[in-house]
Amino acid sequence: MKAITQTAQTLSATADSQALEEQQQYLTFMLSGETYAIGILRIKEIIQYGQLTEVPRMPDFIRGVINLRGAVVPVIDLSARFGKQPTAIGRRNCIIIIEVMMGEETQNIGVMVDAVNAVLEIPADEIEPAPTFGTNIRADFIAGMGKINGKFVIILNIQHVLSMDDMAALATAGSAPSAELVQVG
């Protein structure tokens, strides 16, 4: 009887760990009145908006760069990236620092949003595929549509939002201030 109880507990623990693997945590945030989400495994930190240095001749969606503990981090305005009006600066604006792959290297990118909401777990069976129509952003930017309390949240495919073409422009923006410092010094 004791062996059966231990086996049942082991099976229960295995089922619980599989259920946890099927759920993923997402950071939800507001952007132009809509709720979006990004998987938390890509997020390094969230900081208050401020101390931004503009970089000349960058695309409109690149707001500038910040100094994050000595590292130059480009900041993207997601609203402008999605072809909407640039984000209005307010007291709740945040910059989400995200790690993205650029070739074989990782690069930190700041993503400017209106406000951060919460970290939520969304079970895999509550995520629908990206719609082929009806959204205000490109379909390849959407990883899926998560159902939370009867409402949909757009789960972003951050690797597509910050595509390799854009990353090349970001890498140039990130190295420009360093190059200027070397030339001046």
- The fold adopted by the segment(s) 24-184 is OB fold (Dihydrolipoamide Acetyltransferase, E2P) (2.40.50)
Number of neighbours of residue 49 by Cβ within 10 angstroms = 20
Token pair in block for residue 151? 């409402």
What are the pLDDT digits (tens) for 42-93? 899 999 998 899 988 888 888 999 999 899 999 999 988 888 888 888 889 9
pTM to 2 decimal places = 0.73
What are the pLDDT digits (tens) for 89-133? 888 999 999 998 877 888 899 999 999 999 999 888 888 887 766
